């Protein structure tokens, strides 16, 4: 049976009090509507239609071609929103999920279980429900003697008996597609808000003798819809815990999950250890047997097996097997480190590659460079890559030695096995196995330091006398 999804994302979200459209607020690094779209795709929905309204262009820009779109020009209720999709799905046969774009915590497992129940029982509609201790504010799910759903009663309309019911409507449904759009034609706006409610479809289907089921999720947190910054924070906390649990069940050691931030799209291999205070996000992939942290910030990076990253910031960088980074290193976009490379403290690398076995241990800047194998950089070495107008490349071939406090003025090439003496400023090619030295011969002037101090002292005395006059 075909499956479809309708994601409701047209509301303005005034309670967020934000210039950013509500469903684009991120939870664990991914906008809420992105979480929802990914989830419905995981349950094999052939088509996903996003109903947009306020902020339509921003939502389309983010989701791109991963979804289809319809515009709800006036926000006249959830039923009205779904009805706008008739032009795309009205002639289809199958099962349609209807879900809100601000419910990022709904899981693939719950959607699949709901769909299985729906399809097994030939239901016209199935509601995703949850049982909560404090159901105030939620619509109550009222079941019949056989367990099927009789109706949904909103809080304000509950009798005392209905008010005591703890099973709530989460706002996520699946429908027989043809029956959904048929029932929507019968929904009216005869209510205080003069809106067309999707929940009215449930009552219409029951009245027509159709089966309506309810699938109750074991995790009530899936019911959370994010309408303000408080709920956004709660969703973030819950998803962080969920993500950490998933990684730990997959063999990752997270020393302190409470102080560790891992984004929704991060992949981590088994036997890797994440130390406290780390933020790992974007499309980062970390291999097996790595040690990350403490207090490292890693975005959109690819880190291979056995690497160690300590107290460092990495962005759009590649780190090879058994390579060590830090403490206090900064790998900027375009950095590519080979295997068994060492990047030490207070080293910055940008748009540069370093091949296997090379070392830059401390206080250096390597930018716009191509570094071969087994190259050693001394303390304070710098590739001078920018002349104020253009950036140029430094090439350093295998087995070269770059002494401390060396400036390599790009474009320049250091040959294989070459040796650059400490304190040199290199502007020309150094051929293979040559030694390069570029500094003035030292000259000592006997007693001259005393003359300098005497002149300085005399100048200070004159300035003090002038200030007293």
Annotation: binding site for Mg(2+): 102, 227
Q: Are 81 and 30 in contact (CB under 8 A)?
A: no
| Feature table: binding site for UDP-N-acetyl-alpha-D-glucosamine | 8-11, 22, 72, 77-78, 139, 154, 169, 227, 332, 350, 365, 376
Contact status, residue 296 vs residue 276, Cβ threshold 8 Å: no
Question: What 3-state class would DSSP assign to 83?
Answer: helix
User: Computed from CA positions of residues 183, 186, 189, 190, in that sequence, does the dihedral angle turn out positive or negative?
Assistant: negative
State the Rg of the chain over Cα: 32
Q: Are 72 and 85 in contact (CB under 8 A)?
A: no
Are 102 and 24 a contacting pair, CB within 8 Å?
no
- Three-state secondary structure call for residue 401: strand
Binding-site residues, please?
Answer: 8-11, 22, 72, 77-78, 102, 139, 154, 169, 227, 332, 350, 365, 376, 385-386, 404, 422, 439
Annotated catalytic residue: which of 25, 35, 340, 362? 362
d(CA 313, CA 333): 11
The residues, ordered by sequence, that sit 6+ positions from 12 with a Cβ below 8 Å of its Cβ are 21, 22, 53, 54, 55, 75
- Extract the runs of DSSP E, i.e. beta strands, from 177-305: 212-216, 253-254, 261-262, 267-268, 273-274, 279-281, 285-286, 291-292, 297-299, 302-303
Label residues 352-363 b or e (16+ Cβ within 10 Å = b).
bbbbbbbbbbbb
199 vs 93, 131, 253, CA distance in Å? 21, 18, 44
362 is an active site residue: yes
Catalytic residues: 362
């Amino acid at each position: 049976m075909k499956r479809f999804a309708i994601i409701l994302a047209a509301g303005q979200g005034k309670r967020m009090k934000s210039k950013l459209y509500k469903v684009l607020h991120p939870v664990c690094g991914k906008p809420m509507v992105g979480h929802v779209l990914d989830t419905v795709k995981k349950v094999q929905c052939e088509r996903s239609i996003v109903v947009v309204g306020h902020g339509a262009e921003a939502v389309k820009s983010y989701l791109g071609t991963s979804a289809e779109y319809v515009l709800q020009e006036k926000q006249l209720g959830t039923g009205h929103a779904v009805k706008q999709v008739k032009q795309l799905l009205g002639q289809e046969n199958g099962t349609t999920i209807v879900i809100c774009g601000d419910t990022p915590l709904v899981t693939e497992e719950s959607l699949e279980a709901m769909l299985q129940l729906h399809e097994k029982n030939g239901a016209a509609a199935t509601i995703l429900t949850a049982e909560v201790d404090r159901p105030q504010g939620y619509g109550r799910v009222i079941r019949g003697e056989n367990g099927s759903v009789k109706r949904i009663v909103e809080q304000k309309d509950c009798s005392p008996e209905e008010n005591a019911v703890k099973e709530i409507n989460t706002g996520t449904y699946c429908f027989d597609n043809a029956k959904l759009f048929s029932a929507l034609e019968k929904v009216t706006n005869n209510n205080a808000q003069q809106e067309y409610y999707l929940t009215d479809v449930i009552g219409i289907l029951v009245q027509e003798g159709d089966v309506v089921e309810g699938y109750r999720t074991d995790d009530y947190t899936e019911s959370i819809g994010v309408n303000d910054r408080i709920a956004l924070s709660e969703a973030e906390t819950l998803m962080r815990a969920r993500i950490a649990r998933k990684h730990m069940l997959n063999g990752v050691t997270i020393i302190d999950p409470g102080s560790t931030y891992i984004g929704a799209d991060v992949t981590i291999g088994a036997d890797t250890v994440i130390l406290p205070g780390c933020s790992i996000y974007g499309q980062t992939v970390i291999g097996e047997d790595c040690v990350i942290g403490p207090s490292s910030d890693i975005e959109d990076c690819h880190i291979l097996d056995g690497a160690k990253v300590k107290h460092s910031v990495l962005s759009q960088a590649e780190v090879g097997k058994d390579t060590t980074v830090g403490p206090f290193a900064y790998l900027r976009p375009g950095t590519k480190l080979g295997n068994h490379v060492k990047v030490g403290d207070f080293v910055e690398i940008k748009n540069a590659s370093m091949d296997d076995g090379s070392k830059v241990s401390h206080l250096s800047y390597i930018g716009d460079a191509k570094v071969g194998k087994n190259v050693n950089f001394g303390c304070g070495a710098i590739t001078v890559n920018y002349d104020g107008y253009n950036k140029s490349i430094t090439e350093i071939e295998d087995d070269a030695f770059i002494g401390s406090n060396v400036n390599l003025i790009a474009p320049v090439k250091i040959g294989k096995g070459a040796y650059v003496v400490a304190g040199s400023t290199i502007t020309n090619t150094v051929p293979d196995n040559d030694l390069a030295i570029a500094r003035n011969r030292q000259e000592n002037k006997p007693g001259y330091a005393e003359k300098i101090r005497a002149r300085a002292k005399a100048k200070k005395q004159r300035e003090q006398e002038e200030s007293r006059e």
